[in-house]
Amino acid sequence: EDQVTQSPEALRLQEGESSSLNCSYTVSGLRGLFWYRQDPGKGPEFLFTLYSAGEEKEKERLKATLTKKESFLHITAPKPEDSATYLCAVQSRGHALNFGKGTSLLVTP
Amino acid sequence: IAGITQAPTSQILAAGRRMTLRCTQDMRHNAMYWYRQDLGLGLRLIHYSNTAGTTGKGEVPDGYSVSRANTDDFPLTLASAVPSQTSVYFCASSEDVSRGYGYTFGSGTRLTVV
């Protein structure tokens, strides 16, 4: 059975203070690992898909990396507008995405 | 604007009542999904449809049913609502069930069963 564990559950950063969010996974035949951002009262918004170990993708202050057991979402010099819940999900064998419980990020000025 | 429309935005429902949550997409995506999101439990899959005319059960299907008569619409029905079905419901779609297609999510329906 696929398992996705995200840590920490919550993270508070000062503006400009870089950090990383972790997503550990157990899956039989990884088809893709996904990162989403979710703002309060809204649906998740797609950020990245990673397919194989060693792959990296970047978007503005965010960079996602993937190993065979985990993925990291690195946030460089965050701003208050980066505050949101970040969700990690895995897809295996063509099945629907299996989501972790998310990391709630708060960036203070 | 292309995307997913969910209705209603929110609803308070008496226990035992029947309700259908509506979901419509205009992207001609083949696959559609219903998730519920609960504090501390994250997003859990209720039902899915890989293509029009087919449906399947997810992780938490009990008490829910779906249909997929055409590509665009994927309604979720609660036959007889119970308080444990209080949740935020998200509909999502993807171009295809094959590898790597990201999902587009609707804005959600907040349902309270009293």
Walk along chain B (114 residues) and give the pLDDT tens digit of each residue: 679 999 999 999 999 999 999 999 999 999 999 999 999 899 999 999 999 999 999 999 999 999 999 999 999 999 999 999 999 999 999 987 666 678 999 999 999 999
Contact A43 B100 (CB under 8 A): no
All residues of chain B having their beta carbon less than 8 Å from the beta carbon of residue A42 are: 107-108
- Whole-angstrom distance, CA of residue A74 vs CA of residue A63: 5
Q: Are B43 and A87 in contact (CB under 8 A)?
A: yes
Contact A32 B58 (CB under 8 A): no
How much of chain A is helix, strand and coil, in % rounded to 5? Answer: 5, 60, 40
CA distance B73 to chain A (A): 18
**Does an H or E element contain A98, and which?**
strand A98-99
**Minimum Cα–Cα distance from A35: chain B residue:** B102
N-terminal to C-terminal alpha carbon distance within chain B:
35
| Residue A17 DSSP label | -
pLDDT in tens, A44-100: 999 999 999 999 999 999 999 999 999 999 999 999 999 999 999 999 876 789 999
Q: Is the dihedral of CA A29, A31, A32, A38 positive or negative?
A: negative
- Whole-angstrom distance, CA of residue A63 vs CA of residue B107: 25
All residues of chain A having their beta carbon less than 8 Å from the beta carbon of residue B98 are: 94
> If you average pLDDT over every residue of chain A, what do you get?
95
Contact B103 A97 (CB under 8 A): yes
Phi and psi, residue B59, nearest 5°: -75, -35
- Whole-angstrom distance, CA of residue B58 vs CA of residue B96: 17
Contact B107 A43 (CB under 8 A): yes
Instruction: Provide the CA A10 distance to its chain's centre, in angstroms.
Output: 13
Tokens of A25: 């996974």
Q: Is the dihedral of CA B46, A100, A28, A56 positive or negative?
A: positive
User: What residue type is A23 in one-letter code?
Assistant: C
Q: Count how many pairs of residues, chain A against chain B, have C-beta atoms within 8 Å.
A: 55
